[in-house]
Structure 1
Amino acid sequence: MYFAKKIGGLALIAAMLWLTACSGTPEAGTEPKQTPEHSQEQTPVQTQKPIPEQAPEQTEKQTPEQTSTAQSAATTESPQETETSSTGQPQDLEGLPPSVEEAATTVIRSIKNKDMKQLAAWVHRDKGLRFSPYAYVDTKNDLVFTREELEGLMNDSTKRVWRTFAGSGDLIELTFADYYKRFVYDADFIQKAEIAVNKGLGQGTTINNLNEVYPKEQYDFVEYHIAGIDPSVEGMDWRSLRLVFEKIGEDHALVGIIHDQWTP
């Protein structure tokens, strides 16, 4: 009987030990719970490192680069736009060679104003300036003057032979000032003339050999033509003045002043 009670006590103790062992399972299970908690603590750290560290760095790097690129682009484009826009301004054209029309405009004004100094400045330095009283250019008998000679001619009282008058054949013996009134600016070419470039407008009985003496490949001319002055003579008083320029690159130098008019 005693033995049975002892066995029963041992069984009770074993049962209690078993219960104690079972109650330790949750304690063992707490370790896996800590492991996920530990992994969750590490995971955000690893995730946060690339995102907050890389994204701001890229944003901070790109923004200044883009800003500096835009600024440098704006700095580069601004002068170009200024140069392009200012190219059409008159002050920028002052240093450029004039077109033949622009050159002729300046020359005809100096002729009207008898500004011999400005006129001389347009004359070809080596070839000088030839004066032809009629359409036919006489390379042997037409008078040619250098720049230096031309400046003082208006006050020169010397009478020169400038060929012969059409029809009569008499010598055209005049001072430069008188020749100027008769065979240069003898009509208001600035106000009343029709203007053409490399095209003849007036045509009389005198042969026009301009393009033979001054080939178009090397020369340009601008003609000022007045169809008539007095209506009663029905155009028999027409006038033309042709300014001949040698083409020197993009520039022009005056080489000839050819007067033309109705001839019998």
Structure 2
Amino acid sequence: MKNYLLLFSVLALLNCSKENSAVSESTKNSTVITDEKTKNLPEKPVKIPVSAQIKELNEEILDTLKSRDIAAFAQFIHPEKGVLFSMYGYVEPATDKHFSRSDFIKYSNTNTKFTWGAKDGTGQQLVLSIQDYLADWVFKKNFSGAAYYFNVFKGSGNSLNNLKTIYPGAVFTENYIAGTEEYGGLDWNSLRFVFEKHEGKYFLVAVVNDQWTV
């Protein structure tokens, strides 16, 4: 009788071992299949905050202006709305110079001169080519080293600022250079870029310079 009980116990242990082995193999195969499925799943896109996107665009545009790479600058212009240039903080769409992206590219490679507006204080018309306007007026200071602001106006003087009225749904940056003690801080300069979204990306719709006016 003892022999039968011993034999039965051995058989039961062997059977249990086989079942455990089968379960282990099944679990292993399941893990492999799960890993394979996970590996083939597309990665979820990382959502970058708007403020970070705009700051990167701001830096890239400044780089094109500093290096005078007009062709690169043109790629940031809104493909449908084009870009407006305002000499001062008060934007006047009826008289400020405006270009479609194609016209900007076309004329930026020529010496064709345009009237950009009147200089504050003298009323003298500013007549320059696109290349000279970007170099002599837009980037008249090294704004690459300016203080950066997102959707905030830092420079303020005695002239009106209507940017938010003209572009109510836009976002903007301000690159601000403080004035010097020698001139009582009145020689400050700001360069603002205004952006609007098009097909999921932000493009430049306005370039606004600002400074103290008389």
Normalising to structure 1: TM-score of the pair?
0.69
- Residues 217-242 of structure 1: CA deviation (Å, up to 9, x unaligned): x21101001012x5422222211000
Contact 2:68/2:135 (<8 A) preserved: no
Query: What's the counterpart of residue 25 of structure 2?
Result: 64
Query: What's the counterpart of residue 210 of structure 1?
Result: 163
Is there any run of 5+ residues in structure 1 with no aligned partner, and where? 1-39
Query: What's the counterpart of residue 243 of structure 1?
Result: 193
C-alpha separation in 1, matches of 2:6 and 2:190: 97
Query: What's the counterpart of residue 70 of structure 2?
Result: 116
Q: Does 1:172 align with 2:126?
A: yes
Query: Structure 1 residues 48 and 179 mapped into 2: Cα distance closer, same or farther (>3 Å)?
Result: closer
Is there any run of 5+ residues in structure 2 with no aligned partner, and where? none
Paired positions, count = 210
- Quote the offset at 1:59 in angstroms: 2.2
Higher strand share: 2
Q: For residue 179 of structure 1, what is the amino acid of its counterpart?
A: Y
1:124 aligns to what SS in structure 2?
A: coil
- The higher relative CO (CA closer than 8 Å, separation ≥ 6) is in 2
C-alpha separation in 2, matches of 1:235 and 1:107: 27
Higher helix share: 1
Query: Structure 1 residues 163 and 250 mapped into 2: Cα distance closer, same or farther (>3 Å)?
Result: same
Contact 1:99/1:251 (<8 A) preserved: no
- Quote the offset at 1:72 in angstroms: 3.9
Q: For residue 62 of structure 1, what is the amino acid of its counterpart?
A: V
1:247 aligns to what SS in structure 2?
A: strand
Q: CA RMSD in A?
A: 2.9
- Quote the offset at 1:257 in angstroms: 0.4
- Give percent identity, aligned residues only: 27
1:99 aligns to what SS in structure 2?
A: helix
Query: Structure 1 residues 155 and 52 mapped into 2: Cα distance closer, same or farther (>3 Å)?
Result: closer
- Quote the offset at 1:247 in angstroms: 2.4
| Structure of larger gyration radius | 1
C-alpha separation in 2, matches of 1:117 and 1:179: 15
C-alpha separation in 2, matches of 1:236 and 1:183: 18
C-alpha separation in 2, matches of 1:261 and 1:238: 6
Q: For residue 151 of structure 1, what is the amino acid of its counterpart?
A: I
